[in-house]
Amino acid sequence: MEYASSLLGLLPGGRRTPGLKELLATVGGYLPPEQVARIREAAEFGASAHQGQKRRSGEPFIAHPVATAAILADLRLDADTLVAAILHDVIEDTPTPKDQLAACFGADVAELVDGVTKLDAIQFKSREEAQAESFRKMLLAMVRDLRVILVKLADRTHNMRTIQAMPPHRRRAIARETLEIYAPIAERLGLYNLKLELEELGFRALYPRRYRVLEHTLRKARGNQKEFLKKIERQLSAALAKHGIPARVEMREKHLYSIYKKMLRKRTSLAEIVDVYGLRIIVDELDTCYRTIGVVHSVFRPMPGRFKDYIAIPRVNGYQSLHTTLFGPNAVPIEVQIRTEEMDRVAESGIAAHWKYKTGEMAGSVQQERAREWLSGLVALQDDGNSEEFLESVKVDLYPDKVYVFTPKGRILRLPSGATVVDFAYAVHTDVGNRCVAAKVDRRLTPLRTVLRNGQTVEIITAKGAVPNPAWVGFVVTAKARSAMRHYLKGLRRTEAIALGQRLLAQALAESHLSLEDVAAEARAAALAELGMHDLNELYEKIALGERLAPLVARRLLPTAAEPGASMPVPLAIAGTEGLLVSYARCCFPLPNDPVFAFLSSGRGVVIHRDRCVNVEDYRKHPEKWLPVSWQNAPERLFSSEIRVDVVNRTGVLAHVAAAIASADTNIHHVSIEEQEGDASILTFELKVRDRKQLARVMRVIRRLPDVTRVSRTIAAHARDERSDSDELDESDSSSHTD
């Protein structure tokens, strides 16, 4: 077919395609002229296919794929990848078929474009299922060709750069997906620069107010910190030169999202984060790294327990470096990284650092082998469960590995932080996990739910005929372990499943000092009818396969009389608790659409907490008491919620705040006043509201009052995350979307 001879004229006013000139200049620096001509041809083809289409920002659509290709050109990728980036939306958004792409640009380009394309043509039950299925398809395409994810990451990076054109609720959804999935994938593949940019853009779009506050505070403190580090940099450079070590010392700044995550993780303020700035030392050879660490430790005293050797034991994405923390002047901690030029290149570009630009082939590298090993593991996961389960499994495996443990023969296994002995067993081999009965950690017998720590040696004891325990699902953290157990349990012969389910139900009833024989026939029939089961065998089978929880079924079979002294909370139809009493924790005041955590409590039925409430930490250790619950649509009732209002203590301030609450059509159930030092006071209101949106409106009205300095939604009193909640509510109030 004939393409437009030039992109000029395809755009309004004769403007050239934004970024095309820069793209061609970049690729011309490392690709031969015939490959540069292919990229220009692809741009003309894409402009013709997308002619008349515009982005939400109003610019021509072709600007987006060209900008995507420019991001990959900065990584110096091959011509096929850049052509696929330019054409990555052609199959999805235009009538152009895959066969036409293959005929014009080759089968490799067509497969790459198809791997990135979403599954919009297929009808799914929900948007979440469609998203998960698209993600599954993309990851499986990655197994065949890693360049698929490089195109997708560049596509997402440019979309995040231009996300301000999207409506607020879509910005938040896209930003959350970016932080949960795409930034961790970039980190897993060692694409550090892309990972940093995706995190910064995602953080700014999801929590704009928090981003602005952090950025402003750091900008004010930046001058003093930089001057302080320059002095240390000069001292280290002089010491290295004295020992004849050629090195380049660079100052680095921790990016905002890392600081924010550390503040949340450690529950600390920005003023207490001391490693905002650090130093990086780049040397010529590997053995020089270890000589350098000796010199550095001779200049400044090292902080005990903070030295990490990622050269001898690289991270899962192939990252290598020595990390140490020093006591600087005035005992200020300084984080220092030491690596070679090659390690630095891999740390910045990951798998892209080993691409053969002129042939389009990939050189063999540790990073690529580990990436392929991870992706191959996804193939085993994808056959088990639905698309959404698969996506959740992948999310668990995406986050950086923190624990390094040894087999008895000295083999190193990398596991996620929080991994247990059972996770280790399945990491060795699925059969070892299935037949695991006991374990030794550092030669001592230990429970199977023991959380592993760095450097431990683990020995798994197996037994012939042993089978996985369904209770393990409650504490394992790796996707492989969960998937293998579910696969095994689903494959049980029906008779085995029935016998297992009967034992589990008997154990649950035994906690109430009852047996299956004690349950009246009428109670059994009523429970079966309510659960939609034909007979007890079907019920036992569902329990064994994890589709029904034995404690929940047992409560339905118990006598209906309330226990002595039991409270009678108002029942609410929360999905997963039908027929049970439901109460709402007064430490965290959950509202509809809050992420919630539920467990069975004697005398109170099902207790609903917000999932960040510290009062549920102990219950997380007892998965047999958990219940999977979700909010039903539009519950018709009022809920209690508590807010804290910091005010200047002036005459009539309580009346002004109360009037503002009343003006928002909200009732005050209880109020308390706590005087602070100076002229400040804290007013705590318990309100009756329908949902998070109403609470957000109330908080917005209060925030406008002149004597109010801060409004926040409270959580458990001794571990609040008030800023998080108030910010999230304020953002969700701006549209009809509710998080």
Q: Which residues are catalytic?
A: 92-93
Helix extents (H) in 126-255: 127-144, 147-161, 168-177, 183-188, 192-206, 208-242
How far apart are alpha carbons 705 and 595 in whole angstroms?
30
| Nearest CA-CA partner of 233 in 254, 217, 245, 248 | 248
| Nearest CA-CA partner of 689 in 641, 630, 738, 620 | 641
| Nearest CA-CA partner of 719 in 617, 635, 641 | 617
> Which tokens belong to 325?
């923390």
Q: What count of other Cβ atoms lies within 10 Å of the Cβ of residue 596? A: 21
Helix extents (H) in 602-681: 653-663
Give counts: helices (H), strands (E), the chain: 28, 19
DSSP code at position 75: T
How far apart are alpha carbons 21 and 34 in whole angstroms?
16
339-344, Cβ contacts within 8 angstroms, sequence gap of 24 or more: 339/280, 339/281, 339/282, 339/283, 339/289, 339/311, 340/282, 340/283, 340/284, 340/285, 340/286, 340/288, 340/289, 341/282, 341/283, 341/284, 343/311, 344/280, 344/282
How far apart are alpha carbons 556 and 170 in whole angstroms?
41
Q: β-strands 308-309, 322-327: how paired?
A: antiparallel
> Which tokens belong to 217?
């505070």
* Matching residue, tokens 């374990």: 439
Q: β-strands 333-340, 322-327: how paired?
A: antiparallel
Q: β-strands 277-283, 333-340: how paired?
A: parallel
> Which tokens belong to 45?
């083809």
Q: Are 182 and 223 in contact (CB under 8 A)?
A: no
Furthest CA-CA distance within the chain: 89
